[in-house]
Amino acid sequence: MIKNLALVFIGGGLGSICRYLIGKYFSQFKWVDFNLGTLTVNIVGSFLIGLFIGYFLKDESQNQDLYLLTAVGFCGGFTTFSSFSVDQLNLLKNGAYQSFFIYLILSLVLGLTATFLGLLMTKA
């Protein structure tokens, strides 16, 4: 159990660092009201988790340690649905209703599409 927790911890830490760096990079783009960093991380994270799960579903005997490190740890630390929720509430609070709906639709549609594509790419 300790080994499993360590793998999730390491993966989550790496995912969180990547999320932070991507957020910092995209914070320079001010031409939209919503957070491009969070949107990017959620789409990329959705794609990655699709790839990882597709890979592990192909052969369920694959290394459980790698699953814990990547799908559970890294993707769990990398994706930012909680940040997305705060961003959405801030848009509503500021009266940016059009940006609220654009960000919501893009996040849902592109996130689901990216997950499906990741899963599709790993199917034999």
pLDDT digits (tens, 9 = 90+) for 17-74: 999 999 999 988 878 888 889 899 999 999 998 888 888 888 776 688 998 999 889 9
**This model's pTM is above 0.85:** no
40 is in an annotated binding site: no
Report how far residue 97's alpha carbon sits from residue 102's, in angstroms, rounded to the nearest whole number: 9
115 is in an annotated binding site: no
Residue partners of 74: CB distance under 8 A and separation at least 6: 11, 12, 14, 15, 48
- Number of structural domains (the chain) is 1
- Structural domain of residue 64, as residue ranges? 2-121
Distances (CA, A) of 74 to 55, 97, 103, 124: 15, 32, 24, 24
89 or 97, higher pLDDT: 97
